[in-house]
Amino acid sequence: MDANDVWEDAKRLAQARRQVNNVASAVIRMQVPLSAFLAALDEFDHDELILVRQRVEEMLAA
């Protein structure tokens, strides 16, 4: 899985979440241990990390 695949998956998940919210259904938060998240980041290459940084910056700006 490359950075573009990850990005596309994230966009699809975000769209699905918005759709669920729009129909007033319950939202289930997926909990991921921080250690697992950091371990996944360790496997990303430079370009993938740039995409993650850009997404996090967008989230913080919202």
Domain spans of the chain?
A: 33-62
| Residue 53, pLDDT score | 94
Q: What is the pLDDT of residues 32-54, one digit of tens each?
A: 888 988 999 999 999 999 999 99
pLDDT digit string, tens, across residues 7-33: 888 888 888 777 766 665 555 677 888
DSSP string, 31-55: P--HHHHHHHHHT--HHHHHHHHHH
Q: For CA atoms 56, 15, 47, 58, give the dihedral sign.
A: negative
